[in-house]
Amino acid sequence: MMEKDVVISIKGMQKYEDAAPDTIELVTEGRLIRDETGYTLTYQESELTGLEGTLTTIQVEGEQVTLMRAGEFNAQMVFQEGRRHLSMYNTPYGAMAIGVNTRHLMADLNDHGGDIEIDYAIEVDHAIAGRNVFQIKVKEAEGFSLKQ
């Protein structure tokens, strides 16, 4: 078992039909944990993502990545390249089932950090509602602090 502080850079792009892509970039501190099943990344969302007060956990186990959010918005999404998974999305307005169709998945983590890339489409009622691309870079936090 290994656990350390890391700096996580997240670049996310959301593309909806007839709309310009919406891009967010976030740099935050988090934790990288390795156990017998793989790697787990955890970080707190910020107001930049609109999910303030939410803890995000990303589990990397072989060819599968699971993203879990716990807080005001609860969600669990499973990503596997070429596969479609149904996931529940709980919002303050109620729960909905969405399809997550992963087009491309690359997860290359080691004890010093690494990269995760996920390109997926979201389906609501079997219609594609949008396409998301996430690029996550993880670096050891030694000697690095976001606090001034």
24-58 pLDDT tens trace: 898 999 999 999 999 999 999 877 777 788 999 99
The residue-averaged pLDDT of 57-77 equals 91
pLDDT interval class at 93 (50, 70, 90): confident
CA distances to 28, 60, 70, 74, 88 from 25, rounded to whole Å, are 10, 21, 21, 21, 25
Confidence (pLDDT) at 92: 74
Query: ∠ CA 55-57-61 to the nearest 5 degrees?
Result: 175
Q: Above 90 in pLDDT, residue 8?
A: yes
Confidence (pLDDT) at 145: 54
DSSP-derived letter for residue 55 is E
Tokens of 30: 């988090």
